[in-house]
């Protein structure tokens, strides 16, 4: 038996296509958009035309008929150049459209997925709450049945929600408590809330350390009414559904983190060849060579990790532990590589005109979003049979 970790011709063609797009379209424009905190509508529209938002979805719903490995490949190549663009795609697919695909009725899929897959519309994932953080099971948002009107009445708030307030955002899937078990435990359900619904308020965009060309908002729900048919999946299973979505999303975030780590290598190699000090390129210095070699090692092993987890998912095998391992490791090395790349660039690494400054600012959130590093360690320990 032999193991072959090479990409298929189709996956390699996708990788090269996205690589060219990232360098030819994203790179020239993103610096100015990032500094102005502007959402990259033009870039997102082009990604939609390329089919990137539909990569892992069946053609019958407007998708490209690909898989989660294909999505990860696209995310890695985008993040080698910019993470704001990459997280917009990641959240739009893994968090916006995937819940509808995984758990939606046929009617819900046909209503929402074609526009989500085309990139004409973005979806968002309303899980985190201001007082919840990593305790996503401590949901305080409520949804009460109004049987006479045939509607849910939703009250509560969500925070740190990506793609929630763009001009093309069409829906947010939110978790809300819809009842209690006989033992008094909350029944958490998932409900689709279209944007523009009365009582649904989107706050101004956050002022963030990084990801400045992506959209992140706080949301509030004050007597928001949506049809009972907007329930996504089974009532009371919303939390379990979202945990499944997060398991998958960690693979996507790992691919993104790997891209950032590799981008730090790319920029450092280029700079080390161009920058001269004491009469020769700084890349001639063994200390710089060793730094970059270690950065390349970390990026390579992160890539092995996320691709292994994605391959398990695609084959229908258990992947929870591998996704947590990949997310934990890749986010850690993204921060490490960003720090080293900034150091290699010296004073120029502190200037926003250089991509590594953007990568340094963008890296830290990868150890927090879609499950903190501490949560990943808890999941890994639990999968190893350690409880307590």
Look up residue 159 and give its two tokens. Answer: 């925070």
Q: How far is CA 308 from CA 126, 164, 187, 274, 305, in A?
A: 28, 31, 34, 36, 5
CA atoms in the 13 A half-sphere facing the CB of 353: 2
Are 74 and 149 a contacting pair, CB within 8 Å?
A: no
Q: How far is CA 63 from CA 37, 40, 66, 243, in A?
A: 30, 22, 8, 24
Phi and psi at residue 250, in whole multiples of 5°? -65, -30
User: Is 370 a known active-site residue?
Assistant: yes
Residue 67 backbone zone (phi > 0: left; psi -120 to 50: alpha; other: beta): beta
CA 30 – CA 22 distance, rounded (Å): 10
Looking at 267, 296, 322, 370, which residue is catalytic? 370
CA 331 – CA 368 distance, rounded (Å): 9
Are 190 and 104 a contacting pair, CB within 8 Å?
A: no
Alpha-carbon torsion (54, 173, 317, 311), positive or negative:
positive
CA 277 – CA 275 distance, rounded (Å): 7
Are 102 and 93 a contacting pair, CB within 8 Å?
A: no
Catalytic residues: 370
């Amino acid at each position: 038996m032999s193991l072959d970790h090479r990409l298929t011709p189709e996956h390699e063609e996708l990788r090269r296509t996205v690589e060219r797009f990232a360098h030819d379209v994203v790179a020239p424009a993103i610096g100015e958009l990032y500094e102005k905190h502007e959402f990259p509508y033009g870039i997102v529209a082009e990604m939609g035309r390329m089919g990137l938002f539909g990569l892992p979805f069946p053609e019958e719903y407007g998708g490209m008929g690909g898989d989660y490995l294909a999505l990860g490949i696209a995310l890695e190549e985008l993040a080698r150049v910019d993470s704001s663009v990459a997280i917009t795609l990641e959240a739009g697919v893994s968090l916006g459209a995937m819940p509808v695909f995984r758990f939606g009725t046929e009617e819900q899929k046909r209503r929402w997925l074609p526009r989500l897959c085309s990139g004409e519309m973005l979806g968002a994932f309303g899980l985190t709450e201001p007082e919840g953080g990593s305790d996503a099971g401590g949901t305080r948002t409520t949804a009460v049945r109004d049987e006479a009107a045939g509607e849910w009445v939703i009250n509560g708030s969500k925070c740190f929600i990506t793609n929630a307030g763009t001009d093309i955002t069409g829906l947010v899937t939110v978790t809300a408590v819809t009842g209690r078990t006989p033992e008094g435990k909350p029944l958490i359900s998932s409900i689709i809330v279209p944007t523009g619904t009365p009582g649904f308020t989107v706050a101004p965009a956050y002022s963030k350390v990084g990801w400045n060309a992506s959209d992140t908002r706080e949301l509030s729900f004050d007597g928001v009414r949506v049809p009972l048919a907007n329930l996504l999946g089974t009532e009371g299973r919303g939390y379990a559904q979202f945990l499944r979505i997060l398991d998958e999303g960690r693979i996507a975030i790992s691919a993104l983190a790997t891209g950032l780590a590799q981008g730090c290598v790319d920029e450092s190699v280029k700079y080390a060849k161009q920058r001269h000090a004491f009469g020769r390129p700084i890349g001639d210095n063994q200390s710089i060579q060793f730094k970059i070699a270690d950065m390349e090692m970390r990026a390579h092993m992160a890539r092995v990790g996320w691709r292994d987890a994605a391959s398990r998912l695609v084959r229908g095998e258990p992947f929870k532990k591998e996704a947590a391992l990949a997310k934990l490791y890749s986010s850690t090395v993204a921060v490490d590589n960003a720090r080293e790349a900034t150091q290699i660039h010296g004073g120029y690494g502190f200037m926003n005109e250089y991509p590594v400054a953007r990568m340094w600012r963008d890296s830290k959130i990868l150890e927090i979003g879609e499950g903190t590093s501490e949560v990943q360690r808890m999941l890994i320990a639990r999968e190893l049979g350690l409880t307590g």
